[in-house]
């Protein structure tokens, strides 16, 4: 099932590039799935890691995912998918709320995604300096609010020892990037 999800994600994201990079977009969902796998994620969660942006950024629908991968993968992807018709602040607040109230798998999917994004931002910041923030829909202060809010919400309803190790890596990288 994971190989099937990898193929669908590669086809769906074909031709897309990462922000501030010439890298093909597919490297991002691949890295998210690797983070989830290393953290002990289930097969459904690893598939959701590969597919987490396809509904939001491609022609693939939630129903397509449900038909090919089942209800659990579709539920995880849906929980992660932002409504792009809403303003940035509302979308991000919704994600923070989902992290706060979500299951361990939902929290893990979102934190793994944000960790990979933050790793990229951290690398790009070293290369581009403060100009890195100019490439986002929201600038430094809003990004800081968002990433710090996810970090504050990710342990809600969860003890730190029950969380996968990448949660702590995320918290550390938020502090390094924004403090």
Question: 124: Cβ–Cβ under 8 A, 6 or more apart, which residues?
Answer: 20, 21, 132
For residues 22 and 8, give the distance between their C-alpha atoms in angstroms, rounded to a whole number: 21
SS3 state of residue 165: helix
Determine which one of 34, 56, 64, 82 is catalytic: 56
Catalytic-role residue among 34, 57, 64, 82: 57
* Intra-chain end-to-end CA distance of the chain, in Å: 40
Beta bridge partners of residue 17, listed in sequence order: 24
CB atoms within 10 A of CB 14: 11
Nearest-angstrom CA–CA distance, 69 and 134: 37
56 catalytic per annotation? yes
Read off the DSSP letter of residue 135. G
Half-sphere exposure of 42 (CA within 13 A, CB side): 9
Structure tokens at 38: 């290393």
In this structure, are residues 19 and 51 in contact, taking their beta carbons and an 8 Å threshold?
Answer: no
**57 catalytic per annotation:** yes
Residues with active-site annotation: 56-57
């Amino acid at each position: 099932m994971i190989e099937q999800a990898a193929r669908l994600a590669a086809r769906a994201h074909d031709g897309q590039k990462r922000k501030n990079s010439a890298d093909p977009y597919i490297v991002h969902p691949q890295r998210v799935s690797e983070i989830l796998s290393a953290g002990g994620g289930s097969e459904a969660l690893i598939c959701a890691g590969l597919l987490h942006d396809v509904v939001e950024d491609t022609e693939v629908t939630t129903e397509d995912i449900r038909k090919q991968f089942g209800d659990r993968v579709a539920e995880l992807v849906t929980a992660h998918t932002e409504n792009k018709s809403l303003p940035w602040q509302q979308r991000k607040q919704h994600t923070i709320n989902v992290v706060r109230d979500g299951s361990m798998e939902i929290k893990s999917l979102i934190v793994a995604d944000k960790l990979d994004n933050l790793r990229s931002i951290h690398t790009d910041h070293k290369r581009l300096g403060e100009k890195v923030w100019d490439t986002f829909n929201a600038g430094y202060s809003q990004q800081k609010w968002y990433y710090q809010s996810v970090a504050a919400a990710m342990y809600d309803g969860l003890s730190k020892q029950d969380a996968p190790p990448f949660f702590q890596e995320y918290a550390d990288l938020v502090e390094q990037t924004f403090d």
